[in-house]
Structure 1
């Protein structure tokens, strides 16, 4: 699979943003330092052996541990007869087993498919069937979901792990509390499944055959709604992800223009590792730097999260507007010292009041960036050394080009609103088995059409003003109206449905569903219960409004625009 690269006959985009770059950040990306993510992993494990790589619930694993454990996982996977390029799903929150499994899959020469562990059976089945995964690693808390869909997929190997599996003696206590006291593990039965600890033990006795991986080989299928709302896998190659972490390392230099750089950077890893933002900015960038990622399994537990923040001196804090807002609303947060922490925001727009309050409370500005699953993900960012909040998504990062285009693909002048189109080495190789969708978003000259509408100012900073797509953004997660409407239509009491996003102070936007009843007895509670069975939490309609009819075009298409008012 070839990644989309720059042909020599490309039309030149005027890179006015380069004049706004920090002096120490180069305009172009030098040749990649590694041939694959596996090469990066192995070098980091050799170089940073005794440093902590990941910490969860007070238990740390070093880079040497990571090398050992991922080798065992990889050897075991190879022993199953899986071939280079076969897909393996990972369905876990931020626990130590997540990076161990992910890097183990890559070391085996296989492709990682990240799965949101909170998915409902319908969502999980679609993703597993679409990617053709042959195996899945799942935390036992979510094994009941896997059990329900297994028969309809190509998955033949299921590995189940418990929360405490890599926590040493403490793990037995953790597992007892999770299973027996908190009762967080619904009953499940998957005949023939393997236990994570048994897999590690077996892998220790098996040889690991080196995988001849190149930059153009697929590393991850990162599922996203794309343009139509049907979940599809963005094909991210080893070189896509290596390029993005190298771009980030160059951009990070500006954080240490006015302050000393720590010997080892410690990262807050509160965003889920199955999300592309945390995968690249936390896990891969941490790997490149020999950094230490402190995994937060449940950032919604704000008191517990703040307690964890108080235990370490953090240097990097990637997060979302909603997360920063929630932290500041807890009085204990004000006691923390985050003055030397570089705070990165993505996934959704940062609201100016949140940014200003954060600066007042921590002494540090939030550095807002922008990207998508299709761009591995970071495409632009504000300068780390900025002394103000710009309210923009910043400058295209090293080796990246932005072009603002109209609906006919024509470049627009500065200040005019059009679609943000992105070209660079981090842009995906296409959508998995979706050539028509790939063609829809990729231009003939190698730009990815983001679906976001914005304009560039005279300094090269881009401001997003709207979305071309009807996508709803809930706490940094994409929600596509088509999927919500399809699920609603599955209810026998629904005649028609339309979903839109409405402003929400906590999550940025929330889903509102407009419904025309087929059954007059249908209630809001009925419909919400139906959606809860078929949609993961952030996709569920928060508001439901019943109407006698929905606005339509002259060809009968429901006009969401009119519902938005």
Structure 2
């Protein structure tokens, strides 16, 4: 595909190019937006709101504390392990203003997963929720983390409400297991000590790393994608160009149910929507539909960012269907394939069409999106501005339009590479800047693209990547397991569900319950299998490699899907 091919594919008013050097770094975007929209609301959560001016003040206090009360230096890594709370943007932007590299960490991680990410990134500090501090206590002695900041769910609420919320979470719901981290500092103490103190504002070059975002890539070993300031600024501008085309500066209210530690929500809500001064309604636990719908009823929201499973659950909820959708003008979908029936149902319920896009951690993440002005359901839209796409065959040759091949991407949002893994970087990113996505796509004559298959064996559970290698490595540590394989099978609720195949060692008496218990203890909830099947043998190649695709084909036949 020639570079010129895409230039006339954009809607009227949308430029084919953005300037990725418009801002030198994320700090410049933050400062500009917080000054421009100082009195506008930036984030709301649990009845408490922060204006852009307050966000800048509090992130400054956080940065001042890091600079004046710790030995952390610019370039050091800080792991941020928080759900969608007001503390998240304060900690992330504060860390950046102090010159630190943010390591986004899933709060649902097990101790094993935390240990790998903390050690691989070389993190020296951690910001985490009290709910998982007991895991941090177990893990930290095995890592280089010396500074820990602990926050509770209600810490930024008014005093009485804070006491009530934190007490209910801890004593009534019993969601905070006991922990002992005597050297940890409380989040509110950090803000108190840093408030009013001078900040030596970091001014990193555009090519410096802003965020280490962990992903399994094409294997189960979690790798840190090095996302530079230029990567994230570029994707912010690209996302705004296509997804924010009909959104007005300082006027929009956006529902934020996807976790900010996930690159999609991070780039969109913390970056692109900050640029236009939008108000983000943070949903801490989107699985609690009644609480989420109660929160939504308080706002005339104009934008909603979600994924297929969430859209299905909401449309099936009677209380959600009663909400006022008169202001809703943009619904964005990513993270997993959008089903046609879901798109139609959402439009029927809300009156707003869903705009589907495509991306990956390694591309900061947005590669393509359906322009709001011209949505084609069933496609992933057109590349965002300043982005080229092509499809190649197994030998690397470019294919023509309409032919199936591996989708490759080139643009300013493509990562610098994997942290300290040059070999893995070289496998996916070539010298000319083309990134292999591992997904099989077709490019249509009109420039819209469709994903038709997945080259890699990754399993996509409710928008989260699950890698068979990781699951198999974990299961292999269970005594009595001789061979095992993990595959994804179609599932109405989560897109795909995980199924494990197990061959027991001679004489072993393994049960499904033992397997499930072992997996629950060692992997995050969404990685726990839905089904386990014991077999005498697994299909393999002549060199003994297990044929996952053959197992998957068998399952699809059983389900009548092949």
TM normalised by structure 1 equals 0.95
Task: Specify which of 204, 208, 233 is matched with residue 217 of structure 1.
Answer: 208
Paired position in structure 2 for 1:463: 450
Q: Measured at CA, do residues 560 and 224 of structure 1 come closer, stay the same or move farther in structure 2, by a change above 3 Å?
A: same
Confirm whether residue 176 of structure 1 aligns to residue 164 of structure 2.
no
Residue 28 of structure 1: how far off its partner (Å): 1.2
Confirm whether residue 283 of structure 1 aligns to residue 273 of structure 2.
no
Q: 2:432 and 2:129 mapped to 1: Cα distance?
A: 43
Q: Deviations over 1:515-542 (max 9, x none)?
A: 0012532110011000000000011111
Confirm whether residue 488 of structure 1 aligns to residue 475 of structure 2.
yes
Q: How does 1:217-256 map to 2 (within 5 A)?
A: 217-252=208-243, 254-255=245-246
Q: 1:428 and 1:338 mapped to 2: Cα distance?
A: 37
Q: How does 1:370-449 map to 2 (within 5 A)?
A: 370-386=358-374, 389-449=376-436
Task: Specify which of 335, 339, 342 is matched with residue 354 of structure 1.
Answer: 342
Q: Measured at CA, do residues 564 and 253 of structure 1 come closer, stay the same or move farther in structure 2, by a change above 3 Å?
A: closer
Q: 1:263 and 1:62 mapped to 2: Cα distance?
A: 11
Residue 42 of structure 1: how far off its partner (Å): 1.2
Q: 1:334 and 1:102 mapped to 2: Cα distance?
A: 35
Paired position in structure 1 for 2:81: 91
- 3-state SS of the aligned residue for 2:79? strand
Segments of structure 2 that go 5 or more residues without pairing to the other structure are 554-562
Segments of structure 1 that go 5 or more residues without pairing to the other structure are 1-11
Moved more, 122-131 or 245-254: 245-254
Residue 215 of structure 1: how far off its partner (Å): 0.7
Q: Check conservation: 1:17, 1:461, Cα contact below 8 A.
A: no
Moved more, 397-406 or 25-34: 25-34
Q: 2:408 and 2:20 mapped to 1: Cα distance?
A: 24
- 3-state SS of the aligned residue for 1:78? helix
Moved more, 74-83 or 422-431: 74-83
Q: 1:369 and 1:123 mapped to 2: Cα distance?
A: 29
- 3-state SS of the aligned residue for 1:20? coil
Paired position in structure 1 for 2:71: 81
Q: Deviations over 1:223-274 (max 9, x none)?
A: 0001222100000001100001111121135436xxxx47411111100010
Q: Check conservation: 1:16, 1:458, Cα contact below 8 A.
A: no
- 3-state SS of the aligned residue for 1:464? strand
Root mean square deviation, CA, Å: 1.3
Q: 2:362 and 2:302 mapped to 1: Cα distance?
A: 27
Q: 1:33 and 1:390 mapped to 2: Cα distance?
A: 33
Q: 1:85 and 1:474 mapped to 2: Cα distance?
A: 33
Task: Specify which of 525, 546, 551 is matched with residue 537 of structure 1.
Answer: 525
Q: 1:220 and 1:59 mapped to 2: Cα distance?
A: 27
Q: Deviations over 1:255-311 (max 9, x none)?
A: 36xxxx474111111000100010011111221111111100000011111111111
Q: Check conservation: 1:365, 1:389, Cα contact below 8 A.
A: no
Moved more, 12-21 or 537-546: 12-21
Q: 1:310 and 1:187 mapped to 2: Cα distance?
A: 35
Q: 1:52 and 1:548 mapped to 2: Cα distance?
A: 60
Residue 180 of structure 1: how far off its partner (Å): 1.1
Q: 1:263 and 1:165 mapped to 2: Cα distance?
A: 27
Residue 14 of structure 1: how far off its partner (Å): 4.4
Matched residues, number: 549
Moved more, 245-254 or 152-161: 245-254
Q: Check conservation: 1:220, 1:235, Cα contact below 8 A.
A: yes
Paired position in structure 1 for 2:499: 512
Q: Check conservation: 2:212, 2:226, Cα contact below 8 A.
A: yes
Q: 1:18 and 1:353 mapped to 2: Cα distance?
A: 32
Residue 33 of structure 1: how far off its partner (Å): 2.5
- 3-state SS of the aligned residue for 2:7? helix
Residue 18 of structure 1: how far off its partner (Å): 3.3
Residue 31 of structure 1: how far off its partner (Å): 5.0
Q: Check conservation: 1:17, 1:459, Cα contact below 8 A.
A: no
Q: 1:308 and 1:475 mapped to 2: Cα distance?
A: 22
Q: Check conservation: 1:131, 1:233, Cα contact below 8 A.
A: yes
- 3-state SS of the aligned residue for 2:271? helix
Q: Check conservation: 1:159, 1:195, Cα contact below 8 A.
A: yes
Q: 2:208 and 2:249 mapped to 1: Cα distance?
A: 34
Paired position in structure 2 for 1:141: 131
- 3-state SS of the aligned residue for 2:74? coil
Task: Specify which of 55, 62, 65 is matched with residue 66 of structure 1.
Answer: 55
Task: Specify which of 530, 548, 551 is matched with residue 563 of structure 1.
Answer: 551
Q: Deviations over 1:396-430 (max 9, x none)?
A: 01000001111111110111110000000000000
- 3-state SS of the aligned residue for 2:246? helix
Q: 1:137 and 1:253 mapped to 2: Cα distance?
A: 31
Q: Measured at CA, do residues 39 and 111 of structure 1 come closer, stay the same or move farther in structure 2, by a change above 3 Å?
A: same
- 3-state SS of the aligned residue for 1:119? coil
Q: 2:83 and 2:132 mapped to 1: Cα distance?
A: 10
Q: Measured at CA, do residues 399 and 308 of structure 1 come closer, stay the same or move farther in structure 2, by a change above 3 Å?
A: same
Q: Measured at CA, do residues 455 and 299 of structure 1 come closer, stay the same or move farther in structure 2, by a change above 3 Å?
A: same
- 3-state SS of the aligned residue for 1:278? helix
Q: Check conservation: 1:94, 1:296, Cα contact below 8 A.
A: yes
Q: Measured at CA, do residues 112 and 263 of structure 1 come closer, stay the same or move farther in structure 2, by a change above 3 Å?
A: closer
Confirm whether residue 189 of structure 1 aligns to residue 180 of structure 2.
yes
Paired position in structure 1 for 2:98: 108
Residue 473 of structure 1: how far off its partner (Å): 0.3
Paired position in structure 1 for 2:559: none
Q: 2:149 and 2:421 mapped to 1: Cα distance?
A: 29
TM normalised by structure 2 equals 0.96
Paired position in structure 2 for 1:3: none
Residue 162 of structure 1: how far off its partner (Å): 0.9
Q: 2:283 and 2:239 mapped to 1: Cα distance?
A: 22
Residue 336 of structure 1: how far off its partner (Å): 1.6
Q: 1:315 and 1:81 mapped to 2: Cα distance?
A: 43
Task: Specify which of 23, 26, 35 is matched with residue 34 of structure 1.
Answer: 23
Q: 1:285 and 1:396 mapped to 2: Cα distance?
A: 17
Task: Specify which of 7, 10, 26 is matched with residue 21 of structure 1.
Answer: 10
